[in-house]
């Protein structure tokens, strides 16, 4: 049983149209609607699940960078070919991050009322 000071005795009612209601249900990620709504309203920032393709590609890039670093450490120098590889990897990673951010912004805008 909850201590008396933690009892939730206050109630708020809010109405949604059908589109708003469906969008809210899509965003809900808690066990109960009330618990989820309390967390969001009190400042909890909902997180978005990471894109599996992005995670996989970042892992591949990390593997490539490790190979480049290993090569540079064993050769004790970085030639132009290795430098070009590093630049290419950084460019791809930057593009992937920008696209992921743009996709998240677009998704959030489509969820706005």
Blockwise average pLDDT, block size 10, the chain, 113 residues: 75 92 84 84 74 84 82 78 82 83 72 52
What's the predicted TM-score (pTM) here?
A: 0.43
Contacts 24+ apart (CB under 8 A), 46-51: 48/104, 48/107, 51/100, 51/103
Residue with tokens 């706005």: 112
State the Cα–Cα distance between residues 47 and 61, nearest whole angstrom: 24
* 90 SS3 class: helix
Residue with tokens 């991050």: 97
């Amino acid at each position: 049983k909850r201590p008396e000071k933690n009892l939730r005795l206050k109630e708020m009612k809010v109405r949604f149209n059908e589109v708003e209601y469906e969008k809210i249900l899509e965003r809900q990620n808690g066990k109960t609607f009330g618990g989820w709504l309390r967390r969001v309203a009190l400042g909890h920032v909902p997180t978005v699940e990471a894109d599996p393709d992005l995670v996989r590609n970042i892992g591949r890039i990390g593997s490539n960078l490790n190979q480049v670093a290993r090569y540079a450490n064993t050769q004790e120098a970085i030639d132009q070919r290795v430098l070009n590889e590093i630049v290419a990897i950084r460019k791809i990673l930057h593009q992937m991050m920008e696209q992921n951010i743009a996709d998240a912004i677009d998704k959030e805008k489509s969820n706005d009322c």
